Amino acid sequence: MKLPMPLLLTVLLAPAANACTLAPVKPSFTGTDIASVTYQQGIRQDSEEPFIRALVLYKDSDMAVVESRSCEMENYSVNYFSTQGGTDSARIQALLAPSPLSKVTLAKPLLAQLPKKPGLQDLSDDVTYAQGQVELLVSNQSLDDALTPFRTLVSVSIALGGAD
């Protein structure tokens, strides 16, 4: 079968279809302290991974941005912005509940390993995952000098899978 030239060029020049083997998980959040949850779904331009992002607004003006994206690896990140400063352990645990964190074994509980002072901690060497690679990063940042209503930002990022 011979294809007409314009159709042949379209087929040859079209980007390859996204051959993802995993789909992002839509995280669900409820609680009496949550004012609203808004979702956004799409494809990241930098990695062409499908994502689902949740914006969680709390009644005390704290905010969290949670992103689940997956293609060949499971990626899940939480960015919790606090107006009071510090770490709200119960909220961070609830934000991490839909994450793939339950698939790994941690040397110590995650929240005990969050930096007490501003800084980044790579916990990847303290985590085991039988099905492939794992990357686990946690950080605590002071936002006191930023032009924002937030005083601290606590971030957790986990990536599972991929080749060893």
> pLDDT in tens for each of the 164 residues of the chain?
554 544 444 444 444 445 677 788 888 999 999 999 999 999 988 878 899 999 999 999 999 999 999 888 899 999 999 999 878 889 999 999 999 888 888 888 888 888 888 889 999 988 888 888 899 999 999 998 878 899 999 999 999 986 55
Q: What's the pLDDT score for residue 164? A: 52
Structure-block tokens of residue 136? 């686990």
H or E element in which residue 35 lies: strand 34-43
H or E element in which residue 53 lies: strand 50-58
Whether 160 and 68 have beta carbons less than 8 Å apart is answered as no
Whether 24 and 66 have beta carbons less than 8 Å apart is answered as no
Whether 151 and 82 have beta carbons less than 8 Å apart is answered as yes
Report the amino acid identity of residue 99. S
Report the amino acid identity of residue 138. V
